[in-house]
Structure 1
Amino acid sequence: MSTKNQLLALALYQIIGGLLGIALTVWVMFGQDTTVTLPALRLSLVAGGLYLFSILCGRLLLRQPGRGLRFSLLNQVLQVLLFSFGTYGYQYVAGLRLSVGVDMVGGWVFKFRMALSSFHFSLDSDLGQKYIGLNLVALFLIFWMERLLEKVRT
């Protein structure tokens, strides 16, 4: 596959992942019988900002490949680690998540999880979870982008 086609595939992945994330966030916030609180609205704006960043990374890949790859690497790094310990939790995925991790609530249980664009952030709200995982799709994309960045630089 040519470098141009690889950049196009990455751009489409990031744009579609960001659009899907925004759509799911709006659906969760307003598509159900949910009371929208100020903290929930703030977190939704943070999630929307991250999904918008993914869309912008995709567009930048098409216009300025070198710069787009650097920003896209940052976007994927933000998606590699997901965790929930005590009152703290973080998960951001714009696109596809295939993750492996360890759930430590009732012992050490290895888990394989799959999801589409998702966002979770918790601070000072004990969910009773103890989980740490790695998004394998984000790791794969980071390695792929590193190789593409070397090709674009030469």
Structure 2
Amino acid sequence: MENKTKNQLRALSIYQIVGGLLGIAFTLWVLFHGELEVTPQVLRISLFAATLYIVSILCGRMLWRNPQRGLAFSLANQVLQVIYFTFGSYGFQYVAGLRIGLGFDMVGSWTFKFRLALSSFQFMLGTDTGQKFIGINLVALFLIFWMERLLEDVKATDKV
């Protein structure tokens, strides 16, 4: 495997590991900072978030040991991060790393929004916020295209 490909895999691995660690740290900080009432539902959602962040860490680790398999799992991890939304009482947002998002707020009038986030998670089910928003994480979209190219490079070197 070329050094360029190895260096790109290392950078991607570090990005996913750091993003997952930051996500876990932020989740624990929100839970134990004292401003949130910790209920069983909050604990379940936090456990779900922590699981996704652990998957990000494992994807990063897998890139060191088995790049082809690690890229396949990393692609799935990034697909979960591409689209984020909130419609009435349903919402989902997962970012393990960086989000540079473009989206539309559809309450009242269609308002174009630009959003930045660092390792964040939001899951709503049955909690009507009155929001209607959909966005695309440009960083995750870029990483998907980058990973697909890396996967082609890794497969090509495995055939040789």
| TM-score using structure 2 length | 0.95
Shift of 1:33: 3.9
Task: Return the match for 1:150 from 126, 149, 152.
Answer: 152
Runs of 4 or more off by more than 4 Å in structure 1? none
Task: Return the match for 1:57 from 56, 59, 75.
Answer: 59
**Alpha-carbon displacement from aligned partner over 1:5-45 (angstroms, at most 9, x marks no partner):** 00000000000000000000000001224321000000000
Task: Return the match for 1:93 from 82, 92, 95.
Answer: 95
Other-structure match for 1:121 = 123
Where do 1:67-86 residues align within 5 Å?
67-86=69-88
Equivalents in 2 of 1:87, 1:127: separation in Å? 6
**Alpha-carbon displacement from aligned partner over 1:127-147 (angstroms, at most 9, x marks no partner):** 110000000000000000000
Where do 1:94-113 residues align within 5 Å?
94-113=96-115
- How many residue pairs match? The answer is 154
Q: CA RMSD in A?
A: 0.8
**Alpha-carbon displacement from aligned partner over 1:56-80 (angstroms, at most 9, x marks no partner):** 0000001100000000000000000
What amino acid is aligned across from residue 68 of structure 1 in structure 2?
G
| TM-score using structure 1 length | 0.98
Equivalents in 1 of 2:6, 2:36: separation in Å? 44
The runs of 5 or more residues in structure 2 that have no matched partner are none
**Matched residue of 1:84: which SS?**
strand
Identity over aligned residues, as a percent? Answer: 67
Equivalents in 1 of 2:150, 2:118: separation in Å? 25
1:38 paired to 2:34: no
Other-structure match for 1:130 = 132
